[in-house]
Structure 1
């Protein structure tokens, strides 16, 4: 699996040959690694750049954000390797239609092969400050001190509901918009403001964009758990941030 993920041409060719598992629009299934390949291949064909190069040129450099999709060797000494989660990875949920499937291990991400590859949904390198800098473009309605990066219409499109129900891969209730999960009473992340979107990582990382409060909260980790969006560490930081806003 690692070799396939690190081979852009092979990964995108395999995805292009796949048929939908269910009628589009009727359910959701978390893509894990593949979502970024689908978007990245569109960027590559239109802009003639890899997604890592495009992100660096058009977003990270303009925002002065120290975030990288695929890592150059010159930054290897700066990396804090992830610490594997204690205990086994989650098994397939017997109540959903699709098994959780194979995972990339924490040890896989220590490799040079992983660092040099561009796997947009999984091998981004940065810190909480850089994640917040990039994501806050959405919370600010697309406007930045350096100029507009997203149109207001694009920001609004994030909240066009695509599905609402039990995700067929994660096995948890999710309300999904365009590229993000959305506020919902039964969601793992909730705020008081309706125009809030979020996502996180399997290890416990979390980012929340609140367009009503114009706030972004980002939390990153190297000590992983298997709790994902329900990890109490990220939840604690989120609640603390909103408590501060109330004062």
Structure 2
């Protein structure tokens, strides 16, 4: 690591030394090259198995832009039209939403409509069918609400209907293999063996995240059951299933590489994944207003959140995060097993900016 970024390493080490972090990885690309690649702590219990550069961890919503990128590849190839109705590709789909509205969280389907047990996580056809038959919570395009659990099934079923491959296979064949990214969905047994176990920063974390019982947020985050339950999250059921909105398993270095490639206009190590014009469209603000699930002002692009400093990317509810900052010229990724808040990332970024 270049001496210029030593303060970032010191901040990362301090998070671990003070117990605010138990196991994590951090990667940063700057000016077209990787300048930071750090791992620390443990992937299971304190004093247990050390976190390694190839340790995978569930990153929650950090996976949403990855799922969106799969669909955007089909847009880039002319196989999908952003402004076509979803029904054109998915005939059973009742909601009159466009592909663009699905990608920008304005389609009106932020929660699965039928209560399902944790076992339903492994049943793609069941959950996709529930969404196809659902009535939207609002007129598509009129407002936004993060499609917390549903986003991956909406995007993934569109990919499957057009391409024929499930999202996990499409991601592996068309993105991770070509750009050499260590991340994936629906993990095989060998990859499951290198996963970190999630743990709560405090025992009330899942209660805080669900919000008021019966609220739109609670319905969006609580169905199917088990998405905030450690017994489910650390199980082969969760790691082997495809819940693309929330169960991408990744390394920080894999995520930072992805954003570095997008920052470079869709080309990484000479491999073109997607056109620069579509990258520009995908990272442009599509919706700016109140988000009914997050209960705050949000600027949605096609799969990411756009921040006032011009950066675009996504954070996960447990504290993992990944984004690109075109103004400052860097791509950032932080992955953690300790389910808590984003203050750890905030501090690391403040130090990074001081180094730049």
Smaller-chain TM-score range? 0.7 to 0.9
Indicate the SS of the match to 2:352.
Answer: helix
Indicate the SS of the match to 1:78.
Answer: coil
Match of 1:206 in 2: 321
Indicate the SS of the match to 1:120.
Answer: coil
Q: Deviations over 1:14-47 (max 9, x none)?
A: 1111122112222211111111111111111222
Q: Give the whole-Å Cα distance in 1 for the aligned partners of 2:186 and 2:240.
A: 5
Q: Structure 1 residue 8 and structure 2 residue 127: aligned?
A: no
Aligned length: 231
Match of 1:66 in 2: 182
Normalised to the residue count of structure 2, the TM-score between the two structures is 0.61
How far has the Cα of 1:180 moved from its partner? 0.7
**Residue in structure 2 matching 1:51, options 156, 159, 167:** 167
Q: Structure 1 residue 220 and structure 2 residue 344: aligned?
A: no
- Contact kept in structure 1, 2:179 and 2:271, CA below 8 Å: no
Q: Give the whole-Å Cα distance in 2 for the aligned partners of 1:140 and 1:117.
A: 32
Q: Give the whole-Å Cα distance in 1 for the aligned partners of 2:188 and 2:136.
A: 35
Q: Give the whole-Å Cα distance in 1 for the aligned partners of 2:326 and 2:273.
A: 15
- Contact kept in structure 2, 1:6 and 1:117, CA below 8 Å: yes
Normalised to the residue count of structure 1, the TM-score between the two structures is 0.86
Q: Deviations over 1:141-198 (max 9, x none)?
A: 11111321111121111233232223111112211111111123xxxxxx3xx3x212
Match of 2:29 in 1: none
Indicate the SS of the match to 2:339.
Answer: coil
Q: Taking structure 1 as reference, are residues 106 and 181 closer, same or farther at Cα in structure 2, changes over 3 Å only?
A: same
Which region of structure 1 is more displaced relative to structure 2, 49-58 or 155-164? 155-164
Q: Following TM superposition, where does structure 1 have runs of at least 4 consecutive aligned residues deviating by more than 6 angstroms?
A: none
Q: Which runs of 5+ in 2 are unaligned?
A: 1-116
1:94-109 equivalent positions in 2, closer than 5 A: 98-101=216-219, 102=222, 104=227, 105-109=229-233
Indicate the SS of the match to 2:181.
Answer: coil
Q: Give the whole-Å Cα distance in 2 for the aligned partners of 1:45 and 1:71.
A: 22
Indicate the SS of the match to 2:354.
Answer: helix
Q: Give the whole-Å Cα distance in 2 for the aligned partners of 1:172 and 1:93.
A: 15
User: Whose relative contact order is higher, 1 or 2, with alpha carbons under 8 Å and at least 6 apart?
Assistant: 2
Q: Taking structure 1 as reference, are residues 135 and 152 closer, same or farther at Cα in structure 2, changes over 3 Å only?
A: same
Q: Structure 1 residue 233 and structure 2 residue 344: aligned?
A: yes
